[in-house]
A and B are shown apart, each in its own frame.
Chain A
């Protein structure tokens, strides 16, 4: 469904991604874990063309989307929840959600809205509140709901657990699982919270210094001695 082949990304003189190969199949939850600065966010963003891959190819449904502008890529059914949520703080919750429907030209907005409200009942209660007045967890829900308004087939999530209380992290991860199972949305998840991410995902990739260093079934990665030593022990 989505595949990256030998993708290199440069931030000026910095070689951020050094030849990444990766694939996500339909219906999966795939996670990418790794330390700070390994290039996880860069990889996720380069799928949507910002920053663009300097070398290598990004394929989506067999189509080469490497050089397409971001809005064209998103119109093809990929949605992104950027790091740090980035909700529109002066606009109301409802307006935030409606901006999310941008990629749809016809748009069954009402239906999509009800679908998102069913998933996040708090958003329905707070639909007229300004986005900036929501709590961190609610803002994360809004960011996810906003991305779902575009009816994506693939959802890219960048650190949804960032800055949230453990109980809320648990809740967000349950919702991600529900989105994947009940709405048939494929999920590609970048996380620092390796334990939770691997428990949720079917498969995982481990990244270090701009390269994929390990890949496999989540269960296998959870049991892997190196992964445990680097990302799990003491961290849970």
Chain B
């Protein structure tokens, strides 16, 4: 009797669920196939889109950190393997370069009433992607340790270096600083932040010619080198995952870390509640007397594949709109810095919002920025370890960029 009851209930639920979801998203039919990176905020969005699955609407997802490496191949096939690509400022570029995503203007007009104008990523006037969250590297500092050393909260890298010296002198911490200096993406991003903080330009205006060998580039590198003097000896292997336990073990007092990971560091129910309670988030610091923070702003959003039927594109857009509806930003507010209407910033979002307000620049979406970024990430390590001069490192990076850009067809 009991099992019969359970079966009936289950059958009822099965029947009821899809029709409810159907009514909810308003999709008639189609296939929604999502490819995205793998972190919590994107899980929330993709699960939201999955609610739209029904007898006539198929929703599948592939959430993997390898998404960047498969997206071009997956969207080149016709029909494309995925209908939705969840992208960021850097990962949307290869899709744009190869013309693999479609303009969304008519879909925005039809289904995008809840979107804020700032969410629309317009390329040459056409909406090519919808942003739903923002991210940036920003300052984290330990209130208690700075007070113990008699320091004011730092607002510039000069403050940070002076503070680090005092923290070390007073014997409070031997290695007061940490930064993502692992060669590759992390090191390149730190340089990009610092170089923009000094007001540097990556390219000669209107051309793909790199222009990083200059005083600002050298100053950026020298500041990074000075910081490494206050870090643990393994600093060339530091990335976000390596720094988190160091922060929790109270080995580090000042850190410029990713906003998307901030909620874990201020989580008073996490592994180090006392450290978390004393962790303060603030705007990314300025450098060299500049007024804008030495940071780049990032957005995460979605784009719709070009090589799919209009029906699937429409279904995909509607499902994603369901995934980023205003209620999501309210219900999951602590998970990300949402760009969605009605979002109320939580304590974990303070750093990113302050950095945004202080006028930090977005990470450049230029077609050849990725090539330069890779060249930078691979060629700064020798300078950081004192094996070559800053000029030589920047020249090596430029040379690597020129070679790769020539092969990619950007330079002749």
Q: Do A and B come from one complex?
A: no
List residues of A whose CB falls within 8 A of some B CB.
Answer: none
